Chain A
Amino acid sequence: MSYSNKVAIALSLASITILSSSAASAHDFSAGDIRIGHPWSRAAPAAAPVMGAYLTLTNAGPEADTLVGGSTPLAERIEIHQMSIEDGVARMRPLPDGLEVAPGSSVALAPGGIHLMFIKPARPFAEGDRIEATLEFARAGSVRVEFVVQRNAEGKPDTATDHGGHTP
């Protein structure tokens, strides 16, 4: 691996650490060369048939790996989707071949882009819940992770400062 690659990885790992340390209860998981940064899911409305989930994947190894899917006892299945907004129109498409992470690179699954989708959750996920799941990688194999349920990407209880008061 070249020096610049190493620097890139170090920087991306550092930025992930900085990002997740600002989020509520930052946590990481790893499998082989793959590191999974702060898996989280959005607190869902009552009866929501789907829920988005996010994380950051970093591949410190010399070869590409692919996130091919996942499962959880708390939902019918987990899919990998790509969301985009063009000309004010939101589109969502599954990534049936999974999500490749190139060697020495990092991919953020984040609101507004690629995300995991829990299909038919067994119950509404409430803020603060931890959702156990298994992610499957083509090379690194399966890895158990926990998704923290947050209201938003920042992990703040509310987007307002002192003006909370959401209907539960």
Chain B
Amino acid sequence: MNRVRLFRICVWGAVVLLAGFLLVSTMLPEPQAPAEASTGTARVGGPFSLTSHEGERIDNQSLTGRPYLVFFGFTHCPEICPTTLFELTDLMSELGADAEKFEALFVTVDPERDTQALLASYMTSFDSRITALRGSSEETETTLRAFSAYAAKVPLEDGQYTMDHTTGVYLVRGDGSFGGTLDMHEPRDIRLQKLRRLAGS
């Protein structure tokens, strides 16, 4: 009798385990995630809508058919953000008219401190073809998700805060597909090549 009971418990245990495994494995999107990240077709360039430093509404619809590059930053960033903007300015100046063929977008991850007025003043230091974008915190979150990018507010001791954020420059081709990233540490010629390719996409 005891053995039969033990057998039943084992069988039911196995059934529960199997059901649990099936449930979890169907709920987890994990097997698809790496494939999407490597082909980059589904994870970059999803819907977003933000306001430019000149007050214009810019969203993924208004960019349809036009290649663009986008990167995330904030003005309280002493290094990466201004450096990226200065280097883009420099690259775009070398590209000349080719740089007219794509949009260059700088999305603030800190809309709380980066007001439109501050961004308008900040952007006067760079190529006038670079557009700063900001949105509400929800719009900013949506945009980060659209590019699988990351940003987080980190409180500091004195009541101030800083932002952790993804540093790469995303390239999106004219057909809306992900064209890779621009790394400011790679050789200048490679970066120019990538931007020329983007311009022609």
Footprint of B on A, CB under 8 Å? 42, 44-52, 81, 83, 85, 88-94, 96, 111-112, 115, 117-118, 151-152, 158-160, 163-168
Contacts and interface: CB of A to CB of B under 8 A. Distances in A.
B82 interface: yes
A167 B89 contact: yes
Interface residues of B, number: 36
A117 B160 CA distance: 14
Interface in B23-69: none
Q: Which of A51, A90, A152 has the most CB of B within 10 A?
A: A90
Nearest to B117: A47
9 contacts: A48-B82, A49-B118, A89-B150, A90-B77, A90-B164, A158-B90, A159-B87, A163-B94, A166-B89
Contacts of A88: 166-168
A168 B124 CA distance: 8
Interface string B77-115: 111101101110110011000000000000000000100
A111 B83 contact: yes
A160 B93 contact: yes
Given A88-B166, A90-B167, A115-B79, A45 B90 contact: no
Contacts of A49: 75-76, 113, 118
Interface in B157-181: 157, 162, 164-168
B75 A90 contact: no
Nearest to B150: A89
A137 B157 CA distance: 22
A163 B165 CA distance: 31
A54 B167 CA distance: 21
B124 A163 contact: no
B175 to A, nearest CB: 25
Contacts of B162: 92-93
Interface stretch (B3-11, B13-21, B125-133, B134-142): B125-133
Contacts of A115: 78-79
Contact of B77 (A50, A94, A164): A50
B197 interface: no
A140 to B, nearest CB: 25
B93 A165 contact: yes
Given A94-B157, A159-B87, A85 B125 contact: no
B80 A90 contact: yes
A90 B125 contact: no
A38 B157 CA distance: 30
Contacts of A112: 79
A167 B127 contact: yes
Nearest to A116: B78
